[in-house]
Structure 1
Amino acid sequence: MERIRLGNTVFEGLNNAYLLPGDRPTLVDAGVATDSVRRDLREGLDAAGYGVADLEAIVLTHWHADHAGLAGELQAESGAPVYVHADDAGIVAGDPDAIAAEREIRERRFGEWRIPEEPLAEVTAFLDGHDDLRGDRVDVTPVEDGDRIAAGDGDLEVVHLPGHAAGLSAFAFDGERGREAFVGDAILPKYTPNVGGADLRVDRPLETYLDSLARLVDLDFARAWPGHRDPIDDPAGRARVIAEHHRERTERVVSVLDEHGPADAWTVSARLFGDLSAIHILHGPGEAFAHLDHLVAEGVVAAPDGDGRYELLDADPDFDELVAVPETKR
């Protein structure tokens, strides 16, 4: 397996694509549709002794442009099928209805979160100004949890891990250390993947993501290959650390409401993260919303009133019950 490092000047964090050589040369993730990343990918394939035309399968961990943007043009040149989870297939395929539905949810959430006029205009311009990063339309082959895809000299097992994105999936395989996986942005070695803003289609985003973290702990992969930065040698441990981070953030959200009174998602976000710009104007209140939404479902916070404000009902909940941190097997 060859890791191909890709630049990323639009979104944070350098990306990874992975080449599985062998009887069925397979690429995992494709990078964002920019000239510099296109060059990085082709040079990486060439260094491994392959060209785009040699690819016989392309596998995408999720729909975000920095993972799927070049898939369409790679498919056009290679004829390779492109596999992605069914929940993300419509957006990757460029289906107008799927894209319109995602945009409708985005506009509704922005209103519910009470993003002020100036940052709203900034984030809308940022998102609309980068539509081309999604690249060409793709003829998608949808997959589901548990499916197996022939890749390289073996196969990849689909492991659905929604939260950061509705269709986000890891792809498990037998590696040098035992069972390993390409995990996309399910877990990352440095940052915590955004939940709540990265894919507005996800219902109960925090609970959904916590369930995926618990599954990663239970699977106890020997090593994970993420969509950004370096390999993770203890994926279960990293999943546990991220779950602990969300428990601590839940405590902070409760503290904000306790100290400052009822507040909308934008105001809670400002207390948590301060001033935001560009894509973070989406991710900040999205993260706040994910936690507020979870607290509403657990009866700790009242559902937002007509002004989008959440009111604290219980200032001293059991945070270990609200956000359970799974035990590792090691």
Structure 2
Amino acid sequence: MNRIQLGNAVFEGLNDVYVFGADADTTTLVDTGTAASETREALSTGLADLGVELADIDQILLTHWHEDHAGFASEIQDESDAVVRVHTADAPLVAGDTDAWEAMEGRQRALLDEWGVPEEPREELLGFLDGYDGLSGRARVESFEGGERFSTPEGDLEALHLPGHAAGLSGFVFEGADGRELLSGDALLPHYTPNVGGADVRVERPLAKYLDTLVRIIDGEFVRAWPGHRDVIEDPAGRARDIAAHHRERTENVLDVLREDGPADAWTVSSHLFGELSHIHILHGPGEAYAHLDHLSAHDVVESTDDGYRLVESDPDLDELFPDISE
């Protein structure tokens, strides 16, 4: 396996594309970066260093639908006739299905209302989102489910469904020289905690699903994880535990906001948590607050009222809300 890192000024920076079979008859890419001219140049250069051209790509496996992971897939497919594969839940978006995109955008608008996002930041967000419409294309996709295996000259890659950040987010498991390794996409990142709640508004119970994903990663006993951004993670289970602990702490922070200033909507809570928000974070900030409020609501700790979320139980046992993932 080889890794090519692509610059990314719009999202989380330094997208990773993984190449299998660079010196063989068939070549597989995992993720592609955005459909931007600088992406084409950087990816083409990185592949050329491996003796591969875009036209040589036979298979593209996508971790999820976000533009910085799937956006360039359609252009590569047009040049190479590569098979593009993505989880069933994300396939309509990667394929550019109009109904799927309109449904998601409608859900976004409804949630911006529900979260209490004021008009000015809402307009800033919508303008930002319109500005990167050109970062994705329409690929002809073949969908898969978790557990399916895909052949490469360096061994099979097994899809592992890891929802939360996105509905169809999937990692790919392979056997490395010293044990099982995971291409984790944005399910596990080395520096950031992947956004839940705003990054894919189609996900129901986003925090609960993501906590289940972290458990799945811990139980996988991977010796290392290769993320969708930045550098390799040498202790995936430890990183997953750190992220779960972060979410537990954030849940306590949300409770503090409601104790001091509640009832409150998701926008108000996010303002206390993150301060002033801009660009994509106008979606991600209240989305993350909402994910935590939703989790608390599902456990009857808060309830949603016309005035916002109200505390029902001021001192809940958080052990009941989070999985036991101690070593």
- What TM-score do the two structures reach when normalised by structure 1? 0.97
Paired with 2:175 and 2:145, the residues of 1 have a C-alpha distance of 19
Q: Provide the residue aligned with 2:52 in structure 1.
A: 50
**Aligned match of 2:133 in 114, 121, 131?**
131
Paired with 2:206 and 2:99, the residues of 1 have a C-alpha distance of 22
**Contact 2:266–2:290 at 8 Å: present in 1 too?**
yes
Paired with 1:168 and 1:111, the residues of 2 have a C-alpha distance of 26
Paired with 2:129 and 2:153, the residues of 1 have a C-alpha distance of 36
Superposition RMSD in Å: 0.9
Q: Which consecutive aligned stretches of 4+ in structure 1 deviate over 6 angstroms post-superposition?
A: none
Q: Provide the residue aligned with 2:232 in structure 1.
A: 231
Aligned-pair distance for 1:72?
Answer: 0.1
Secondary structure of the residue aligned to 1:151 is coil
Paired amino acid for 1:16: D
Q: Provide the residue aligned with 1:9 in structure 2.
A: 9
Q: Provide the residue aligned with 2:157 in structure 1.
A: 156
Paired with 2:42 and 2:152, the residues of 1 have a C-alpha distance of 22
**Contact 2:165–2:195 at 8 Å: present in 1 too?**
yes
Alignment of 1:1-330 (within 5 A): 1-21=1-21, 22-134=24-136, 136-302=137-303, 304-307=304-307, 309-328=308-327
**Contact 2:12–2:229 at 8 Å: present in 1 too?**
no
Aligned-pair distance for 1:84?
Answer: 0.5
**Contact 2:35–2:75 at 8 Å: present in 1 too?**
no
Secondary structure of the residue aligned to 1:145 is coil
Aligned residue pairs, count? 325
Paired with 2:11 and 2:244, the residues of 1 have a C-alpha distance of 24
Aligned-pair distance for 1:326?
Answer: 1.3
Paired amino acid for 1:18: Y
Aligned-pair distance for 1:170?
Answer: 0.3
Paired with 1:191 and 1:177, the residues of 2 have a C-alpha distance of 27
**Contact 1:170–1:183 at 8 Å: present in 2 too?**
yes
Paired with 2:155 and 2:12, the residues of 1 have a C-alpha distance of 32
Secondary structure of the residue aligned to 1:262 is coil
**Contact 2:7–2:39 at 8 Å: present in 1 too?**
yes
Deviations 1:70-98 (A, max 9, x none): 00000111111001000000000001111
* Structure 2 unmatched runs, 5+: none
Aligned-pair distance for 1:12?
Answer: 2.4
Paired with 1:306 and 1:202, the residues of 2 have a C-alpha distance of 23
> Identity over the aligned pairs, expressed in percent?
58
Paired with 1:272 and 1:17, the residues of 2 have a C-alpha distance of 33
Aligned-pair distance for 1:53?
Answer: 1.2
Paired amino acid for 1:191: Y
Paired with 1:6 and 1:248, the residues of 2 have a C-alpha distance of 33
Paired with 1:177 and 1:192, the residues of 2 have a C-alpha distance of 27
**Contact 1:119–1:281 at 8 Å: present in 2 too?**
yes
Paired amino acid for 1:4: I
**Contact 2:57–2:82 at 8 Å: present in 1 too?**
yes
Deviates more, 1:111-120 or 1:143-152: 143-152
* Structure 1 unmatched runs, 5+: none
